[in-house]
Amino acid sequence: MPPRRNEKYKLPVPLPEGKVLDDMEGKQWVLGKMIGSGGFGLIYLAFPTNKPGKDARHVIKVEYQENGPLFSELKFYQRAAKKDCIKKWIELKQLDYLGIPLFYGSGLTEFKGRSYRFLVMERLGIDLQKISDQSGTFKKSTVLQLGTRMLDVLEYIHEHEYVHGDIKAANLLLGYNNPDRVYLADYGLSYRYCPNGNHKQYQENPRKGHNGTMEFTSLDAHRGVALSRRSDLEILGYCLLRWLCGKLPWERHLKDPVAVQTAKTNLLDELPVSVLKWAPSGSSCCEIAQYLACARNLAYNEKPNYQMLKTILNPSGMPLGPLEFSTKGKSVDVHTPNNQKVDLQKAATKQVNRMQNRLIEKEVPGERSVESCATRRKVQKEEKLIGLLNNEAAQVNKKWIAGRNWSTGRSLDTPALDSSMLPQMESTRRRQKYCKSQEFLNEVKSSPQISSYIQFPKSFYELHHDFTSPDTFNKSRCPSWYTSTSTTAMEVTDLESSTGLWRAISQFTLSEETKADVYYYGFTIVFLLVVVFLALYFL
């Protein structure tokens, strides 16, 4: 039987060095010196009695038997992470390794009248949190490679009915003998989201809200929903952003879970702009923005496309090399300096001038450029279509709110919604946002001018300040010109904002296609008027 969960676990009294422990399979292990402690237990070096040596290759994790995390980790390894299963998975997926620590045994022991549970694990090296504390941020190539490696691990544990639930730098450790490898450790908070193939149902529980590491936990965890595969992917996305940028938008509000939840919701709802503008100077977060958009788009019980996610983080498909953690300096300032804003504005102005010159060169006296006219019509049609869709959605939402009984939370003229429909409705809304964000990200990646950073107009910087402050959240919404997701539309909008350019364009004559439309509709109207006139005359 699993131990009862206490609100707060107690660290055990340390065991004496040299104590011999017998595991469930009859193997004996000698405790070495204690090398670490966590919120739940202690970690010792360990030596098998039949192979004593000076360099320990194993560690033993110890906690009181009534504590829960070590029991959860033990069940994870027994059900999902046996050495034979990991070996077969590596061969099946053609991996060089899988970043899950090896499990060697477990058991119970007594000391001073207390019962202890212990796990024998593979020894690992330094964790990434210590490296991050020293270097501040990681190289972008290192961040993307870490993400790819973690996706390999998550795919394995997800296929074996578990989610990790607590991905962070402190739980990512380098190999002891091979520091080029990275391992996801500490499965004390792992959760069996799909026991015997039956996925847990989506159900919010405010009493269980805001569980996990506040800085990285998922929105589902904030709502008190049982973790699922999309939770792990979302947590990993926050980690990637933190490792690359050195900060997260909600770090100032970690003591206020509701503010953190609001900040995360805004970040995901405003993708990709919210992530692109958070990138450090001289770098880009396009891959992370696209990754988070995919994670946000997942339904609660939907299986992720791991290969697609790995392709996003490693678009070239190059073999993964050694991890490099050296950086040029400490934590990078994620806010754009004032002088850089001026440089970006000058660059944008030059780009507009070049485009204006190209348009003037294409101009033929007495005729309007067909290309520029078609582009403008396309933009106008897109904006009109988006406006119609938004109006229609607003009307439906208004009618639904008007007929809602807020005392019961139910519509007056419709039956109560099945709770199973909520994830699908949420997923549909996310998919619409995802399509727009994907189109924009593709344009960003294909544009050489914005491959390293995004050149937004001055109005963008005026609207988007430090959105770690709640007062500026509403001000950090996407500007209206950003609703169009094509590069052409952005160029036309920028052209419209340039001085005198739109007046010059407005003086052009209509294109041949527009003239044909005018002639056709004009002839039709004249014909109808003649028919009406004749009918009235003879009657």
Catalytic residue among 23, 152, 166, 232: 166
CA distance 160 to 80: 6
Residue 147: CB partners within 8 Å, gap ≥ 6? 236, 240, 291, 313
User: Cα angle at 451 between 448 and 454, to 5 degrees?
Assistant: 110
Please say whether the beta carbons of 202 and 225 come within 8 A: yes
CA distance 390 to 405: 25
Q: Tokens 């090296």 correspond to what residue?
A: 125
Residue 478 CB-density burial (10 A; 0-12 exposed, 13-18 middle, 19+ buried): middle
Token reading at 54: 């000076």
Token reading at 505: 């364009």
For 25, 64, 109, the CA distances from 114, given in Å and listed in that order, are 22, 7, 8
Residue 32 CB-density burial (10 A; 0-12 exposed, 13-18 middle, 19+ buried): middle
Please say whether the beta carbons of 327 and 138 come within 8 A: yes
Angle, in degrees to the nearest 10, between helices 140-159 and 229-245: 170
For 282, 323, 393, 402, 414, the CA distances from 399, given in Å and listed in that order, are 47, 55, 10, 5, 12
Q: Tokens 């009918």 correspond to what residue?
A: 535
CA distance 241 to 250: 12
Q: Tokens 């090896």 correspond to what residue?
A: 102
Alpha helices (H) in 447-511, listed in sequence order: 458-463, 487-497, 501-506
Active site residue 166: yes
CA distance 232 to 162: 10
Residue 514: CB partners within 8 Å, gap ≥ 6? 373
CA distance 71 to 377: 64
CA distance 362 to 343: 29
Residue 42 CB-density burial (10 A; 0-12 exposed, 13-18 middle, 19+ buried): buried
CA distance 480 to 72: 49
Name the residues annotated as catalytic. 166
